[in-house]
Amino acid sequence: MILRELLKANTIRTDIGPLDKWTAIERLADLIVDSGKATDRAALLEAILNREKQGSTGLGNGIAIPHARTDGVRDVAVALGISASGMDFDSADGKPCHLIFLIAAPPHESTRYLEALAAVASLGERASLVAQLKSVRSVEDALAFFASYRRRGE
């Protein structure tokens, strides 16, 4: 599964807290910057924030997927923030968001970018998996979740 490949210990925060969505996006972008996958923090943030201003990426069922393609990253990158208490992300269902997957890719990288978006959307369709992941309290447990998770059809 692509999320297992893209998520690393240094791109996961299990204690992101009850932030507003803009601060959460910035913190997750910083994880991608700190991981070395971003070449330009300002370009990464601008692309993600501009996309979010077009319409909320809060899918509902506790998941949000702020995302963009930008020259500000070297390769497809994913950061995950888990908020046990949840946060307002202007989600489609109006409920708090607990899992924020920030996905960024360079403009030429369509396939893996779309695969990552599809993997998160598929995860979001399975309430039991969302509940399991939102209860994770350590990076190691999050990585173990993705190591064992199998998306339908995979």
CA distances from 45 to 68, 88, 105 (A): 9, 19, 12
From the list 21, 67, 69, 98, the catalytic residue is 67
Q: Which run of H or E residues covers position 79?
A: strand 77-87
Q: Taken in order 133, 138, 139, 144, is the CA torsion positive or negative?
A: negative
First vs last C-alpha separation in the chain: 8
Annotated catalytic residue 98: no
87, β-bridge pairs = 97
**What is the spatial distance between Cα 32 and Cα 12, in angstroms, rounded to a whole number?**
10
Q: How many helices (H) and strands (E) does the chain have?
A: 6, 6
**Residues belonging to the active site:** 67
